[in-house]
Structure 1
Amino acid sequence: MLPKDVNPDRRAYVTLVTADSYLPGARALVNSLKLSGTAADIVVMHDPGIDLAGLDDLATRGARLVPVELPRLSREFHELHERGNLHGRAPFSKGNKPAFHVPLHNFAKLRLWQLDYDALVYIDADAIVLRNCDRLFSYPQFCAAPNLYESLVDFGRLNSGVFTARPDPAIYEDMLRVLDRPGKFWRRTDQTFLEEYFPDWHGLPIYYNMMQYVWLNLPEIWRWQDIRIVHFQYEKPWDTPHDKSSRLLPLIELWRAFERGHDIPDLSTLPPPP
C-alpha cells in the first residue's frame, strides 16, 4: 500500500543516459519495465546531445524523455573527478569499466530530485527488471542495496544502481552545497556522496540490485526465484566480447532477450551459476 503522500499517478522509474553507448542498455531496461506490468511512468533523463533517433526509439517504447545537464560544479570539482584523475587516485581493481564510461556524469543522477513526482525508483541503464518492483514506491527516502559483488564485507557500502527517492528541489540545492566543497573528492562519485548525504540510508534486499559479479564470486547467493533486478556493473552485455563474456553468457543472453523485447525465457528454466 502506498503512503498517503504518494499519488499513484505521480510515481516513476527513472534512468540516466549520458552517452549514445548507453542507449542499448536503456532500451533493454525500458522493455523490461514495460514487461513487468508497472503502471508507473518510465523517465529517461538524458544528456541533450544524445542521438535523436535513439531517444525517439525509447519514447516509442513508452519512455518520457527529460533532458538534463550536469549540476553546476566548480572547475576544481571537474578536474578532481575527470576520468584520468579519478582512476589515478581510486583505480578499479575488480573489473573493467568501458571506455565510454565518464565518472563525472554519474553526478547527473542528482537531477532526479528536481523531477515533478511524489516518489521515484532510480535504476541504472545497465540493469534489467525481471519482476515487478512497484512496492518500492512505498519505501522511504533514501533506500539502496549494498554494493555486494565479492564478499560480505561489501554490505557496508551502498550501490547507487537502484535506489528510492522523494523529489524535492530544496534537497537538490542542499546536495549541491554539500557536494562541491574545496578539495572534496568523492572516491566512488555519486555513491560515496549519497552515503555521506544519507548516512542512515535504508538497506534494500540484494535481490533488488543483484550485480552480475555475484554470479562469479558468490554463486550460493544467486537465486533466480528471488531476483527482481539484475545489474551489469563494470563490463556491459552490449559491449561484447570482453574477458568475462564466456562465464557471464547466461546473463548476457538474458539481457539480449530483454533488449529485443520478446522471447523472454521462463526464469525457472535458467541455469544456476557454474
Structure 2
Amino acid sequence: MWIFSRYKDYTPLWTDVASLKQANRAHALRILAILLVILVSVWYNGYLIAKLAKKWPTPLDNYQQLNPNPLLNDEFYQSFKSPTHDETAVVTCMYTDSYATAIATLGHSLDRVNSTATRLLFYLPEHVSSEALCIATATGFVPHPVSRIAPPHNGEGTNKRFLDAYSKLNLWTLNDAGYKAVVHLDADTLVLRNFDELFALPYRFGAVPDVYVGSHGFALEFNTGVIYARPDTAVFRDMMEKMQTLSYDEIQADQAFLNQYYAASAVRLPYAYNANLAIKVRKPAMWEDLWKRARVVHYTLVKPFLAEADNSGETIVPMEGLEENIRARMGEFDGVFEEELLEWLGQWKETYAKYGEKLKECEGKVGDV
C-alpha cells in the first residue's frame, strides 16, 4: 500500500533469519510462561476462596441458643461477700464536656444495681469545664483530677478521638490511694446488672474480647471499654517506660497498647460484662441471649448523648435536648438499636427525675475544676 512505500528500500539490520526465529521463539515462550503464571494464580486464588467459603464458622459466628445456665455459679454467688467500699472502685474518664450527661446517667445506673464500690471520675482539668464536671458528678462520682498521658510519638498514627485516652492508664496508680481492685467503665456504657463479683477475681487484668461489624468479626483482642485491674504503681511505671519503644498499631491508642502489654496474660471476660452494640449487628441471636444477662452495655456504634453520626462529640447536646437527639438517632443502622437507645433514654429520664434540681444548679457554673 502507498502508506508503506516510503519503506520499500529499507534493509533490516537483523538479516540472520535463524537468529530472528530463535528470538521469536524465546519471546513466545516468555509470553506462555507469563500466561501460565496468571492461570496458576487465578486457579490458586479460586481454590482459597472456595476453601474459605466452606470454612466452618467459629462458635460465635455459628451461635445457637443452647446454654440455659446462669452466667455465675450459684454456689459461689450465694457465698460471695460484697467488696469493701474503701478498697474497690468503679472508675470512668471524662476528656470532653460532651460526655457529662453520659457519666451522670452511668452514675445513676450504678445506683440502680446497688453497686458497693467507690466511684471515681478521672478528668483532665485543662479540658473540662466547671459546668460539665458538676453535671458528671451529680450522681455519685467523686472528681479525681489526673495528669494527661500523652500518646507516644506525638500522637502520630493515633485516631484523633483517642489522643487523651492514654490517661486511662492512671488506673494503675490507684494502689497509692489504697484501692486493691478497680473496674473501669467507659463513659459510653450503661450498667444493667450488678458486677461486684469482678472485684473478687485473683487475676491482674481482665477485659472482654472485641467484636467488629465488618469482616474482622469476633476478635481475640479485647475491648478496653470495660477493664478489671489490680492497681500497681510499679506496673504503671513499667508501662510508661515501654510505651515509648513498644511496636504496635497506635490508631486505637490505649486499647492497642494494653492488648500488646497484657497479651497472653489477660483474662478474657464473658461478653455480658461488655455487651458491645456491634454484637447485635454481627449476630442478632447472640445478642438476644446476651441482653437477658448483660451486666454492662457498651454504646459503641450509636452514642445516644452525642449529636454526630460519627460520634465525634464536637457538639454538646444540652440536657433538655437529649430525648430529641436520641429519637433522631434511632434510625441509624436501620433502626436496629431502638430498644437499646430507649433503655438509655429511660435511665436518663430517671436520672433527671431524681437529680434534676442538682443538675439545673450546674448550668452556667463557672470557676476552677
Match status 1:126 vs 2:188: yes
Alignment partner, residue 140 of structure 2: 62
Structure 1 vs Structure 2 CA RMSD: 2.5
Q: State the 1:174 CA deviation.
A: 0.7
Contact persistence 1:32–1:128 (CA under 8 A): yes
Contact persistence 1:7–1:118 (CA under 8 A): no
For the structure 1 residues 72 and 44, does the alpha-carbon distance in structure 2 shift closer, same or farther, using more than 3 Å as the test? same
Calculate the TM-score normalised by the size of structure 2: 0.61
CA distance in 2, matches of 1:7, 1:226: 25
Describe the SS at the equivalent of 2:163: helix
Which residue identity is paired with 1:143? G
Which residue identity is paired with 1:155? A
Alignment partner, residue 28 of structure 1: 105
Which stretch of the first structure deviates more once superposed, 244-253 or 192-201? 244-253
Alignment partner, residue 86 of structure 1: none
Which stretch of the first structure deviates more once superposed, 233-242 or 248-257? 233-242
* Cα deviation code 1:122-147 (max 9, x no counterpart): 11000000000111111222100010
Match status 1:215 vs 2:304: no
Describe the SS at the equivalent of 1:258: helix
Describe the SS at the equivalent of 1:81: coil
Please identify the structure whose Cα radius of gyration is greater.
2
For the structure 1 residues 163 and 73, does the alpha-carbon distance in structure 2 shift closer, same or farther, using more than 3 Å as the test? closer
For the structure 1 residues 155 and 28, does the alpha-carbon distance in structure 2 shift closer, same or farther, using more than 3 Å as the test? same
Q: State the 1:148 CA deviation.
A: 2.3
Q: 2:241 aligns with which of 131, 154, 177?
A: 177
Q: State the 1:182 CA deviation.
A: 7.9
CA distance in 1, matches of 2:150, 2:216: 36
CA distance in 1, matches of 2:101, 2:209: 26
Which residue identity is paired with 2:270? P
Which residue identity is paired with 1:127? T
Equivalences for 1:41-120 in 2 at 5 Å?
Answer: 41-48=118-125, 49-72=127-150, 76-81=153-158, 83=160, 102-115=161-174, 116=177, 117-120=179-182
Larger helix share, 1 or 2: 2
Describe the SS at the equivalent of 1:156: strand
CA distance in 1, matches of 2:334, 2:109: 22
Alignment partner, residue 236 of structure 1: 303
* Cα deviation code 1:223-245 (max 9, x no counterpart): 23211110011331122434337
CA distance in 1, matches of 2:170, 2:233: 9
CA distance in 2, matches of 1:178, 1:82: 20
CA distance in 1, matches of 2:166, 2:81: 29
Q: State the 1:81 CA deviation.
A: 2.2
Q: 2:91 aligns with which of 9, 14, 34?
A: 14
For the structure 1 residues 35 and 136, does the alpha-carbon distance in structure 2 shift closer, same or farther, using more than 3 Å as the test? same
Match status 1:206 vs 2:286: no
Which stretch of the first structure deviates more once superposed, 137-146 or 187-196? 187-196
Which residue identity is paired with 1:189? A
CA distance in 2, matches of 1:228, 1:174: 32
Calculate the TM-score normalised by the size of structure 1: 0.80
Q: State the 1:168 CA deviation.
A: 1.4
Describe the SS at the equivalent of 1:160: strand
Match status 1:247 vs 2:336: yes
Describe the SS at the equivalent of 1:167: coil
Contact persistence 1:17–1:46 (CA under 8 A): yes
Q: State the 1:246 CA deviation.
A: 2.6
Describe the SS at the equivalent of 1:144: strand
Describe the SS at the equivalent of 1:12: strand
Contact persistence 1:131–1:228 (CA under 8 A): yes
Describe the SS at the equivalent of 2:91: strand
CA distance in 2, matches of 1:263, 1:65: 20
Q: State the 1:184 CA deviation.
A: 5.8
CA distance in 2, matches of 1:202, 1:152: 21
Describe the SS at the equivalent of 1:157: strand
Q: State the 1:7 CA deviation.
A: 4.7
CA distance in 1, matches of 2:106, 2:205: 22
Q: State the 1:82 CA deviation.
A: 5.5
Alignment partner, residue 16 of structure 2: none
Give the gaps of 5 or more residues in structure 1. 84-101, 265-274
- More relative contact order, 1 or 2 (CA 8 Å, 6+ apart): 1
Alignment partner, residue 137 of structure 1: 199
Describe the SS at the equivalent of 2:190: strand
